[in-house]
Structure 1
Amino acid sequence: MEKGKASRMLREARLKEGKSQNQMSMDLFQSREYITKQESGERKISPATAHHFTKKYNDPWLGLQAAFEYTGIGITKLDGPAVDLHRTAVKSKLEEELQEAIEAMNKAKITNRPEFTQSFELQDIEQSAREFIDVIHASTTYVATICQEYNISWPQLWEDHHRKLQSRGYVTS
């Protein structure tokens, strides 16, 4: 089986922390063999493993990548040759994406009755959605970057956000 990006990220994170597979297996209450299989790509990264690294090491990327590999959709860490992940570049890219998305949203004609939407209007609506996916990715990259750079807890931000949603009656649990 081909080794996925999450598998490589798991191994790199473990080595960065100076842990052996045996030490990590004790931290996670998983067998060393299971850790080996996750790192080799023979098994997908378990939610428990992704959660452990996200909480303990304030690194959102392993969890996001594992979720992407489970579902085939969502956020993945940018790692191509054209990417600049310096905090100021990430901030500038988010600003650019937000502006493009606002422009696309303002162009899109959202109607009360979607069944009467013309094809050219639907194209504008779809383009608006595409621009907002760019914003979601850029926003996630921005928040993950500042959390790591400024030692802000990624898990705590999300826990606080979830509590806010609960308090406003937007989610029930």
Structure 2
Amino acid sequence: MRFRTLFLFAVLALTLLFALLNWEAFTAPTTLSLVFGTVQAPLGLIMLGVVFVLAAMCLAYLIWVQGSALMDSRRHAKELQLHRELADKAEASRFTELRNFIDVELQKMERVQADARTQLVARIEEMEKRTRLAVQETGSSLSAYIGELEHRIEHRGPNGSDPTAH
């Protein structure tokens, strides 16, 4: 866009320079025919005026196009910012949802772990009870065997024979 604007100003400057160098020819009166009649006027000045009016119209058009582009750019920037905010909110919502999901899953894992721990402690206690019972039974059996051996030793005869063996 800047190149076009500079080009337009360069053409206008060259036209102005051309008019200044040929000012006498531009201001020479000439008979001009209009549809309704004739008029005496300098043709160069009229043509120069037409060129400047056309240049002003082109300049106004350029300003309008650049203004429209600027307004569209601002509108697009606002829409982009709105979409960016919506995307940020959606992303934050997804993060919140993910965090909630992870919290729920961690709570489930903690419950499963607590249940497993409770079951393990119950099993260990049951095994301890069984082990104590087995130790007690073994102790009782050993005591019975020792008692029987003591009884045999006490009732043994003088020659070392067992009187209950007959």
Taking structure 1 as the reference length, the TM-score comes to 0.25
- The structure with the larger Rg is 2
Q: Which has the higher contact order (CA 8 A, sep 6+)?
A: 1
Structure with more of its chain in helix, by fraction: 2
Taking structure 2 as the reference length, the TM-score comes to 0.26
Structure with more of its chain in strand, by fraction: 2
